[in-house]
Amino acid sequence: MTWVKEKTFYPPKKRHSSGHIDKLCVSADGGLLIGGGDKNVFVWDISSGEMIASSSFRFSILDLAISSNGKFAMIATGNIYYWDLTDPCNEPVEFMGGMAGGAVDISQNSMYVAIYRYRDTGVIVWDLARNAQVSEFRIKRAFSYSGVFLSPDLRYVATSDTRDKSIHVWEIEGKNKSARLKGHSDTPNQLHFLDNGKTLVSFARDGEIIFWDLSKKKIVKKYSAQNCFTIVNNGELIAEGGEWYVTIRDSEWATLKEIRLNGFARELLFSPSGRSLYAAIGGGGITKWIQKEPMEKAVQGILQLTNWTDQAILYFKQFGYFAQYSQLNDEEYVSKIKEAIGSGYLYAEGGEPTHFDLVRLLTQDTRRVWWGDAEVVDYDTVYTDIVTQWSDISRGAFAPSEIKERWSDDNQSVMLSFMHGGDIYSIAPKVNLDWLDLSVLNKINNIISPSGYCFYVFDEPYDQTVIIICLTAEEKDQLEADLGISFQHLRAS
């Protein structure tokens, strides 16, 4: 299997906020993604990519957790908050009238919650169904931001001690300290119980990873990682990352895949199944990768890995790309396009192409593909300019005229209007500081749907740009089936 970027979740830009996401969690049913940074928490619908809820707090987000069914979340800011997510309009409320806490975890069955009460230097386990405390564990003179962690079988709860960098593990029902593990030279800030219940994996601030045999209270193996780390519950996949790269490894630390980033990885998270990987990138939102068939299988019978550029150019010819050279024979056609592209443009020439390499080849046909910045630069004409450019690649399906763009004096609202097919249409793009509202394509796709064409988004450049292409449904299906490329359809809302 290979890893392919599927989509990016962008938090709204807020004034006096860094825009960073430092905490991630995803519901076990794969429905919701929740991210926290600075004093804000955001919730996204994973399938649609839309943010469905957000909330701001008085103090910075220290920790967060989401129930397996996505119905509620817990947030730690110094106090613990409970957030009912069954209605996006709900606001977080203080848990138990204002229980203090610096870290929180929710059990896989969503019945128990563990809270690190750093003011009381202890950990409590709370039964949500009975609304009663199950257990309480004290740590003498300790103060930790490292979190609190429940084992999947609800046998153990663990946290770390900043005094001596040790790990405390307790039996929840027996109320006995089953282990105090020493071996780190820096404070462990992540703990992961593997599904077998016998192994604990700890990750410290200095990048050291230790696998512990809980029954023997001994170190099994050690590795050195970058600044962030995550592991699948069965221990078969590991991801560690830092600046510009995330490396996916197997249980023996062998490299399976190296993923290039457009910034610094601040937090990593596998989905419970291990089929998806989320990376919070400094100032660049949260990117999701999914496992797919390797390129060799995806393009079998279409492209050979040697000299793939020539074959890809001829493959795309059947869809009418680079039509200005269509009168040339195949050899001249390929030569002319490669000459226009320029040498060294395609990173993977001579090796295995990524989906981005293939679509990046298409972006050279500016009559059919738009590749641009998703950031607003000129408030006066940004949507006028971009709608005109999208019209140019629409293959005649979208022909707006009399385009008007009106911004409010404070640039906090905008109205876009145009004529198409004799009718007047008005769209009110959402203003999110300096980000384009790409959902404008929702309305445009609805307008042009009788033509059989649709604007699709390929959201896999390694920066804040986006690639937009106009295709029929049949063309999209064939490209995805032959090459494994995923195009996002922005549907009418």
Structure confidence by residue, pLDDT tens digits, 242-251: 888 899 999 8
Rounded (10°) CA dihedral 383, 388, 390, 396: 150
d(Cα 269, Cα 281) in Å, to the nearest integer?
Answer: 12
Which among 404, 487, 425 has a CA at the least distance from the CA of 453? 487
Note the Cα 48 to chain centre separation in Å: 12
Confidence of residue 491 (pLDDT cuts 50, 70, 90): very low
Give the Cα-Cα-Cα angle 327, 328, 330 (nearest 5 degrees): 125
Question: What is the structure's pLDDT at 493?
Answer: 35
Question: What is the model's pLDDT at position 125?
Answer: 92
Q: Where in the chain is the domain with CATH 2.130.10.10?
A: 2-294
Query: How is residue 473 written in tokens?
Result: 């449904």
Percent of the chain with pLDDT over 90: 38
For 168-209, how does the pLDDT look when each residue is reduced to its tens digit (9 = 90+)?
Answer: 898 888 766 678 899 999 989 899 998 667 899 999 988 999
300 pLDDT above the threshold of 80: no
- Partners of residue 94 on adjacent β-strands: 81
Interatomic CA distance for residues 17 and 3, integer angstroms: 31
CATH superfamily for domain 2-294: YVTN repeat-like/Quinoprotein amine dehydrogenase (2.130.10.10)
Task: Confirm if 244 and 256 have CB atoms less than 8 A apart.
Answer: no
Q: pLDDT-based confidence at 347, cuts 50/70/90? A: very low
- Determine the Cα–Cα distance for residues 264 and 78; give it in Å rounded to an integer: 27
CA atoms within 13 A on the CB side of 416: 25
Instruction: Give 382's Cβ-side CA count (13 Å radius).
Output: 20
Q: What percent of the chain has a predicted confidence (pLDDT) above 70?
A: 86
Residue, of 428 and 294, whose pLDDT is higher: 428
Cβ contacts of 93 within 8 Å, gap of 6 or more: 81, 82, 83
Q: Give CA–CA dist 365/440, Å, rounded.
A: 23
Most confident of 311-325, 390-404, 458-472: 390-404
Structure tokens at 27: 């519901």
**What is the H or E stretch that residue 156 is in?**
strand 156-161
**Is residue 14 pLDDT above 90, yes or no?**
no
Q: Kindly report which listed range (30-34, 213-217, 279-283) carries the lowest average pLDDT score.
A: 279-283
Question: Residue 343 has what pLDDT?
Answer: 56
Q: Determine the 3-state secondary structure of 340 from DSSP.
A: helix
Closest to 145 measured CA to CA, from 108, 96, 106, 104:
104
> For residue 469, with 0-12 CB atoms within 10 Å meaning exposed, 13-18 middle and 19 or more buried, which class applies?
buried
pLDDT of 350 strictly over 70: no
Q: Per-residue pLDDT tens for 303-339?
A: 555 577 888 888 898 899 999 998 999 899 988 888 8
| pLDDT for 176 | 62
Q: Which H helix or E strand runs over 105? A: strand 103-106
What's the pLDDT score for residue 427?
Answer: 93
Lowest mean pLDDT among 331-345, 394-408, 477-491: 477-491
Rounded to 5°, angle at Cα 205 from 199 and 209: 30
Give the integer Cα–Cα distance in Å for 120 and 101. 9
Residue range 101-155, pLDDT digits in tens: 888 999 888 889 998 886 656 888 999 989 999 888 877 655 555 688 999 888 8
pLDDT score for 380: 80
Q: Whole-model pTM above 0.85?
A: no
Torsion 418-420-425-429 (CA) sign: negative
Angle of helix 440-448 relative to helix 382-392, nearest 10 degrees, comes to: 40
State the helix-helix crossing angle for 355-362 and 308-317, rounded to 10 degrees. 50
In the predicted structure, residue 432 carries a pLDDT above the cut 90: no
* Structure confidence at residue 489 (pLDDT): 60
CB 39 within 8 A of CB 57: yes
Cα dihedral value 108, 110, 112, 118, nearest 10: 80
What is the model's pLDDT at position 146? 67
Mean pLDDT of the chain: 84
Q: What is the reported pLDDT for 367?
A: 93
Residue 35 banded pLDDT, cuts 50, 70, 90:
very high
